[in-house]
Every structure is written in C-alpha cells, then in structure tokens.
Amino acid sequence: AQSVTQPDIHITVSEGASLELRCNYSYGATPYLFWYVQSPGQGLQLLLKYFSGDTLVQGIKGFEAEFKRSQSSFNLRKPSVHWSDAAEYFCAVGPYSSASKIIFGSGTRLSIRP
Amino acid sequence: DAMVIQNPRYQVTQFGKPVTLSCSQTLNHNVMYWYQQKSSQAPKLLFHYYDKDFNNEADTPDNFQSRRPNTSFCFLDIRSPGLGDAAMYLCATSMQRGQGVDTEAFFGQGTRLTVV
C-alpha cells in the first residue's frame, strides 16, 4: 500500500536554530516526492520536489531535502529557521502515472520560539 | 499571474442547499484534483480528472460530484451540504505525460466552506 508518514505532529524550534522534519514513505515504484507548506487559511505551496538524479534537492526559502532510498525517507531541513517559517508542512508522494494520485502525509505543524 | 484560481475564497451555504465551487487553471494541465481539508488535517482526495476521465475515491460520499466541461475548468458540486462538510476545499492541477516528465501538483488558494 502507498503511504506517507510524518511522525512528528508538532515541532517547536527557536528562531535561528536548525530544523529537520521527518518523512517516510511506502510506494510501489520509484517515488516522486514533494514537500509542501501551508500557511493558515492558504493553499499549499511547493517547497521542493524530487524526481530523480541528485538525492539532495534544494528548494525555495532556504529549504533542502535528502532522498534516502535505503531508509525510504525524504526529510526536510533548514539550517536556520525564521519566524515566518511557522506553518504546516506536508510531505507527499506522486503523481507518477495517470492512474496515480498524490498521497499526503498527515502534516507537521512548525512553531517558532522567539 | 495566478495559475490555479478558486472562486470564491469563502462560501457560506445553508444546510441542505446545493453549492458549487469552481476552479480554473491557466497551465493547460491534463489532471485536476479536488481535495477536502478539515482543520489541522491533511488534504483528503475526493476525486480527480485525467483529461475527461473521472476518478472517484472509494470513500467519497455520493453527496459530492464534479464536472469538468473543458481543460481549464473544474467544478465541485455538493448536493446537500451537511455541517460535517464544512472545510477548506483545495483544487490542484498537474501534467501527466509519464516517462519522468510529469509535474508536481499546483494548488489554488482554496475555498473555505461554511455550512449554517
């Protein structure tokens, strides 16, 4: 079965501290992996994506993620968070083919401590 | 230069009164999705269109219907909204060609539906 797991429901970090949000997936074929961010009352904005190639991908707003096939993980990182990074973060898998659909993790809410 | 546009941003409807939410795209993508997102939850896929082919999720209630009259537009119809249907409804699009040239999903800003 296809699934995405984000084990951390809520994380609080201090402004300027580093951040890592975890994501594990189960997918039958080569996954297309995404991280989206959602501010309150807004739609989802793509931070970064992995299709193939270099397993370390750079995204917008200073975020990066690393694909580790052996661990079925795609963790999101940022070396120094800003107060404006407070939001909900969703890891997602797919779409891969016309029969596929995007599968979202349950999300991680990030709070920033001043 | 908004690419996926949802109207309206906020919709209030009466219990049991049919309501339609709209989504338009300027990306010429062949796949359009409708998601329901309740507070503090992940988006839940209701259905998606691949071109004109409609794909309904098994657990989507019959109360929810969709129409895609052309590539650019897709509508979500809720025939008899209940209080439990109050949520954010997200439209998304993607381009599916296969063979590693697919795109990610692009989301609209959502429509917040309130049922009174």
Cα A25 from Cα B44, distance rounded (Å): 17
Chain B positions touching A92 (Cβ under 8 A) are 105
Which residue from A42, A97, A101 is facing B109, i.e. has the nearest CB?
A: A42
Cα distances (angstroms) measured from residue B74 to each of A73, A111, B18, B29: 34, 35, 17, 12
**pLDDT tens, per residue, chain A with 114 residues:** 778 999 999 999 999 999 999 999 988 777 889 999 999 888 899 999 998 788 999 999 999 999 998 999 999 999 999 999 999 999 998 765 555 678 899 999 999 998
Distance from CA of B42 to the nearest CA of A (A): 5
| pLDDT at residue number B78 | 97
| pLDDT at residue number A14 | 97
Contact (Cβ atoms closer than 8 angstroms) between residue A64 and residue A75: no
* Mean pLDDT (10-residue bins), chain B, 116 residues: 88 97 95 92 91 92 96 97 96 78 82 96
Distance from CA of A75 to the nearest CA of B (A): 18
Q: Do A45 and B33 touch (CB under 8 A)?
A: no
Q: Do B41 and A107 touch (CB under 8 A)?
A: yes
Going by their DSSP bridges, the two strands A45-50 and A19-21 should be labelled as unpaired
Structure tokens at B90: 């997200």
First-to-last alpha carbon distance for chain B, in angstroms, is: 34
| pLDDT at residue number B95 | 85
Interface of B with A in 72-111 (CB under 8 A): 88, 90, 92, 94, 96, 98, 100, 102, 104-110
